[in-house]
């Protein structure tokens, strides 16, 4: 038995021997003292639930130990947000903008680009007032150049550990919650920046992008027949290198420049020869920029899935790269040194995280830029391009190849930045313009003010916590009541008083009151008994109430509880007595009828009644404690569902004794007397009580009706045997020779009649033939002879003339519908005509066909077949793919928007069934091309059970070439609508 249950029984044990009217104040206090025994004995090491005298483990340990100032506040040290000495400033990740942050750091550490941007004129002069900045107005950059200026100035001289680039991101119109292709962002932004700076007068500013990042190469094609050479010059800002199948960066560069043969169908039209000739084509590097960006094509297009994927292969690269072997004009300075490695962590092309390893051009030291966090890379940490993958299965990890000194290898690097090696030392004096420095100084002042404010708040929290510590430490010693006068206070309030994270509110003891506005005995478990001295201090400082002294204990509720306990004990005895009485046979007419279900559950019903009476005592001025209310509500709901009171299970619908003796049992007078003590309002039926007379009449009538229905069903089944079994039925498509007239009834009538004939006791007889459903409002027939032989044949049933005569005798017929066959011709009949009565209504027939077509095009689930066409022949796999697709919206679905990205029809299913990517699919139905992916199947004329023809385009053999085309011709979908494409 649980300890709490033992205490409860001990606390109320005297109630078994004391009558309710004899309960005294001494009895009440005795019950409460028993609850306190474990703590009085000193065996409590944690809070005793339900013991009002236990004051251990309610949150006091925080205040009674050694003082820890950090526990008095939740404010971090503002100095943690301060930039460390000789370190760089980070950038806040706004959700999924890590790819932007990496490029900003790389561009910031390009000193020439930074210096040129500082020289760019700014509209900040409108923001200046005299020799200073308008204090009451925040600076808002107006152009992309101004945003970059301000960001670079903050990155250079801010006191903060990291800054917020949201202004720059917002100016570009980027979605902060969507991960984008970093390589595409780099290309588009460089193009935008070059276009913006091209309008500047200063050549150092106007040409900085081309000077730093722009090189030139030529597509050279040589005719094998005449040797004529044609060139197509092109500028580049980065070289896109295929890494598939390669292990070293130099191999990737060699493949980029390799010679390609143009033969067969791919021959080159030579203007000199004026015909197609075999030729060779290659790329020649004509000039290289100061900053050489090498894009490693890790993100490639997978034709099988129709999506991008990431190549997680290792690529080796050296810190020194000699490009002289690859350029056309020798003799120049083409030695580059590694300055940055941009990294994508993760195995998917659509998720992951971007970081950058960048070399400080002034100190030559390497740093890892990971959004807000900047880490110096030295010693064992200096492993360029090495970052752990995110959520990568261990089985897919390949072994890292060995790298010599000055070389590195990475499976996550997607861009390498090399700087032209020069003898000159880098310019270390990139000065922030005065107006930008003023803006930075103002931001630094705000930061310092914030640090002072946070430090003051920390100090106030610490001072307040120390004062609370002294208060609790002093007052907790005086909390135990002992033998002195005491009061009850809510345990929940005491815990909140001891919780330093929540402000202390006034004391509220209302939840512990009974209906008599006194302390309910069952609420002692959520109260604590404290000294009157401590209570006086609490109420004077925090207020609230009502105050609950020893006189607040409710005698009336204790008396009621005593009565309920005695009744429950008595119930156990009576249960045994009733069981023994039920074993004895009932003599004469002294017995009473009791429902068998009631007899099985009478003890439970009696207990529920006592619990309800006990629960009523917990009400407080019409209000009830939350847990008790839910308990009572569940009981009421259960009662309503069962709708069962004692002995009501043998009541008939008329309130009398039911006629079924299987549901009731005869019990003795003594047993009924015991049961009646608990259920005085239960319906009483002595053994001589007659059953309900109305139920007897209805029972007899029901038996007579069943017999009548069986007779009618047997007669109709005998009269229409062919109609019942569907044998020897006439057919319009194969008109029988022995008759010229057939009659029509609706198939619905036939089905309802068959149901009755099969189960006449469960169904009502069919009394009429409702042929009006087959006619239009004008009384004309809705079906043609041809349609009744095909699609409408399921709606009608054909009858022989003899059957129709029997139908007219057995049923009331509202409309007669018949089909007559007439032979047309003089000597040799050459044509047969069929005439219906009533005649066809053409207008209503047309309306019916239109409605049927609309219904066919409005469906939510249907089977659509797809046949693949190869060499103009239909080919279907062994298991024909069936597409359970959703087409036109129903009226209920039209208001609900489809989830983002969902298109109808979903031809990705075709891709998985036939391994044909969506862009290679040519779909048609009945000669009509299906090209609108946003249209519904219904609007395209695709109805259930339709067959769509699929003809697949031949895939491009050279996947690598195709990927290059995709990268050049198809910019990322995610940048549409942003400022990157606005130019």
Give the pLDDT band (50/70/90) at residue 953: low
pLDDT of residue 369: 92
Quickly state the pLDDT bin for 635 (edges 50, 70, 90). Answer: very low
Q: Which residue numbers are catalytic? A: 98, 353
Buried b (16+ CB within 10 A) or exposed e, 830-857: eeeebebebebbeebbeebeeeeeeebb
Q: Please answer whether residues 773 and 746 qualify as being in contact, where contact means their C-beta atoms are separated by less than 8 angstroms.
A: yes
CA-wise closest residue to 296 among 259, 247, 367:
247
Question: How far is residue 261's CA from residue 267's CA, in Å, rounded to a whole number?
Answer: 9
Residue scoring higher pLDDT (22 or 656): 656
The predicted pLDDT at position 368 comes to 92
Does the N-terminal peptide bond of residue 319 adopt cis geometry, omega within 30 degrees of 0?
no
Q: DSSP string covering 493-537, please?
A: HHHHHH-TTSPPPPEE-GGGB-TTSSB-GGGGGGEEEEEHHHHHH
| Most confident region among 11-20, 185-194, 303-312 by mean pLDDT | 185-194
- Decide if 113 contacts 145 (C-beta within 8 A): no
Q: Bigger pLDDT: 665 or 126?
A: 665
Would you place residue 840 in the very low, low, confident or very high pLDDT band (cuts 50, 70, 90)?
Answer: confident
Looking at mean pLDDT, say which of 128-142, 613-627, 826-840, 889-903 comes out highest. 826-840
Q: What is the pLDDT of residue 134?
A: 54
101: pLDDT strictly greater than 50: yes
Mean pLDDT of 11-27: 62
Lowest mean pLDDT among 187-191, 204-208, 316-320, 482-486: 482-486
d(CA 133, CA 117) in angstroms, rounded, equals 21
**Who contacts 273 (Cβ-Cβ below 8 Å, separation ≥6)?**
223, 225, 226, 228
* Cα–Cα distance for residue pair 355/370, rounded to 1 Å: 5
Given a cut of 70, whether residue 967 has pLDDT beyond it is: no
Note the Cα 657 to chain centre separation in Å.
57
Q: Which domains does the chain have, with CATH numbers?
A: 4-55+479-557 (no CATH), 78-124+141-203+432-458 (3.90.70.10), 208-385+402-420 (3.90.70.10), 716-856 (3.30.2230), 862-869+911-982 (no CATH)
The neighbouring-strand residues paired with 279 are 223, 262
Helix (H) or strand (E) holding 259: none
Confidence of residue 613 (pLDDT cuts 50, 70, 90): low
Q: How many whole angstroms separate alpha carbon 250 and alpha carbon 254?
A: 6
Angle between helices 182-197 and 98-108 (to 10 degrees): 50
Token duo for residue 569: 């004990």
Report the C-alpha gap between 87 and 375 in whole angstroms: 8
Q: Of the ranges 122-136, 662-676, 781-795, 880-894, which one carries the lowest mean pLDDT score?
A: 880-894
**CA nearest 282: which of 298, 268, 265?**
268
**Is 460's pLDDT higher than 90?**
no
Q: What does the pLDDT read at residue 892?
A: 37
């Amino acid at each position: 038995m649980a300890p709490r249950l033992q205490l409860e029984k001990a606390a109320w044990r005297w109630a078994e021997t004391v009558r309710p009217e004899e309960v005294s104040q001494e009895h009440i206090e005795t019950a409460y003292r028993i609850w306190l025994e474990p703590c009085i004995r000193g065996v409590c090491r944690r809070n005793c639930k339900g013991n009002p005298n236990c004051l251990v483990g309610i949150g006091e340990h925080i205040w009674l130990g050694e003082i820890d100032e950090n526990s008095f506040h939740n404010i971090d040290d503002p100095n943690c947000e301060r930039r460390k000495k000789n370190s760089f400033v980070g950038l806040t990740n706004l959700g999924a903008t890590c790819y932007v942050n990496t490029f900003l750091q790389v561009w910031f550490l390009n000193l020439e680009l930074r210096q040129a941007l500082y020289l760019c004129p700014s509209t900040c002069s409108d923001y200046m007032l005299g020799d200073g900045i308008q204090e009451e107005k925040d600076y808002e950059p107006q152009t992309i150049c101004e945003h970059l200026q301000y960001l670079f100035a903050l990155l250079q001289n801010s006191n903060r550990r990291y800054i917020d680039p949201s202004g720059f991101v917002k100016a570009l119109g980027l979605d902060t919650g969507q991960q984008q292709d970093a390589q595409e962002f780099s290309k588009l932004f460089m193009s935008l920046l070059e276009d913006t700076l091209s309008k500047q007068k200063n050549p150092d500013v106007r040409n900085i992008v081309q000077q730093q990042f722009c090189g030139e190469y030529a597509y050279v094609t040589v005719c094998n027949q005449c040797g004529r050479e044609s060139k197509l010059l092109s500028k580049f800002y980065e070289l896109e290198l295929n890494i598939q199948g390669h292990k070293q960066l130099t191999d990737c560069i060699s493949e980029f420049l390799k010679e390609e043969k143009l033969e067969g169908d791919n021959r080159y039209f030579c203007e000199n020869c004026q015909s197609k000739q075999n030729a060779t084509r290659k790329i020649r590097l004509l000039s290289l920029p100061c900053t050489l960006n090498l894009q490693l094509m890790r993100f490639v297009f997978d034709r099988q899935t129709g999506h991008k994927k990431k190549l997680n292969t290792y690529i080796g690269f050296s810190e020194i790269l000699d490009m002289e072997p690859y350029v056309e004009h020798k003799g120049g300075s083409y030695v580059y040194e590694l300055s940055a490695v941009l990294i994508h962590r993760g195995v998917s092309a659509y998720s992951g995280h971007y970081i950058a390893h960048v070399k400080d051009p002034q100190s030559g030291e390497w740093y890892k830029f990971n959004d807000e966090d900047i880490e110096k890379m030295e010693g064992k940490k200096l492993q360029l391009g090495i970052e752990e993958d995110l959520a990568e299965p261990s089985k897919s990890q390949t072994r890292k190849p060995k790298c010599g000194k000055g070389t590195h290898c990475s499976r996550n690097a997607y861009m390498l930045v090399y700087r032209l090696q020069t003898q000159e030392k880098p310019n270390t004096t990139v000065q922030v313009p005065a107006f930008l420095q003023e803006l930075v100084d103002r931001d630094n002042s705000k930061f310092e003010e914030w640090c002072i404010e946070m430090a003051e708040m920390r100090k106030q929290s610490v001072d307040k916590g120390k004062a609370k510590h002294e208060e609790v430490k002093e007052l907790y010693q005086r909390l135990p009541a002992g033998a002195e006068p005491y009061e009850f206070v809510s345990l929940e309030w005491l815990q909140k008083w001891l919780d330093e994270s929540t402000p202390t509110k006034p004391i509220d003891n209302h939840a512990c009151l009974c209906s008599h506005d006194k302390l309910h005995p069952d609420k002692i478990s959520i109260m604590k008994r404290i000294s009157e001295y401590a209570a006086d201090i609490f109420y004077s400082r925090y207020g609230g109430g009502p105050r609950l002294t020893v006189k607040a204990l409710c005698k009336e509720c204790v008396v009621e509880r005593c009565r309920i306990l005695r009744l429950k004990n008595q119930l156990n005895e009576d249960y045994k007595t009733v069981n023994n009485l039920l074993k004895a046979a009932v003599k004469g007419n002294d017995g009473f009828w009791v429902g068998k279900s009631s007899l099985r559950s009478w003890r439970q019903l009696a207990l529920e009644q006592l619990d309800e009476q006990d629960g009523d005592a917990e009400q407080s001025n019409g209000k009830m404690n939350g847990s008790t209310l839910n308990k009572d509500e569940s009981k009421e709901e259960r009662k309503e569902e069962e709708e069962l009171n004692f002995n009501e299970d043998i009541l008939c619908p008329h309130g009398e004794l039911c006629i079924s003796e299987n549901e009731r049992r005869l019990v003795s007078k003594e047993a009924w007397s015991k049961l009646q003590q608990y259920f005085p309002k239960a319906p009483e039926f002595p053994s001589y009580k007659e059953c309900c007379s109305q139920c007897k009449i209805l029972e007899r009538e029901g038996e007579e009706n069943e017999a009548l229905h069986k007779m009618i069903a047997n007669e109709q089944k005998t009269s229409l045997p062919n109609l019942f079994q569907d044998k020897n039925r006439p057919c319009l498509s194969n008109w029988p020779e022995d008759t010229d007239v057939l009659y029509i009834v609706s198939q619905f009538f036939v089905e309802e009649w068959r149901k009755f004939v099969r189960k006449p006791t469960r169904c009502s007889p069919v009394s009429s033939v409702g042929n009006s459903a087959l006619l239009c409002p004008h009384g004309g027939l809705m079906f043609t002879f041809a349609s009744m032989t095909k699609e409408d044949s399921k709606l009608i049933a054909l009858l022989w003339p003899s059957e129709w005569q029997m139908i007219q005798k057995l049923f009331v017929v509202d409309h007669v519908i018949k089909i007559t066959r007439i032979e047309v011709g003089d000597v040799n009949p050459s044509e047969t005509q069929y005439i219906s009565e009533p005649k066809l209504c053409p207008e209503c027939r047309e309306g019916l066909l239109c409605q049927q077509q609309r219904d066919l095009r409005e469906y939510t689930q249907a089977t659509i077949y797809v046949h693949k066409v190869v060499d103009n022949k239909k080919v279907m796999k062994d298991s024909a793919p069936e597409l359970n697709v959703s087409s036109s919206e129903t009226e209920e679905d039209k208001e609900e928007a489809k989830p983002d990205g969902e298109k109808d029809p979903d031809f990705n299913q075709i891709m998985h069934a036939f391994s044909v990517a969506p862009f290679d699919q040519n779909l048609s139905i009945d000669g009509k091309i299906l090209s609108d992916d946003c249209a519904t199947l219904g609007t395209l004329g695709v109805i259930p059970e339709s067959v769509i023809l699929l003809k697949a385009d031949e895939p491009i053999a050279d996947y690598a070439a195709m990927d290059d085309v995709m990268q050049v011709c198809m910019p990322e979908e995610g940048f549409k609508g942003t400022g990157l494409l606005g130019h």
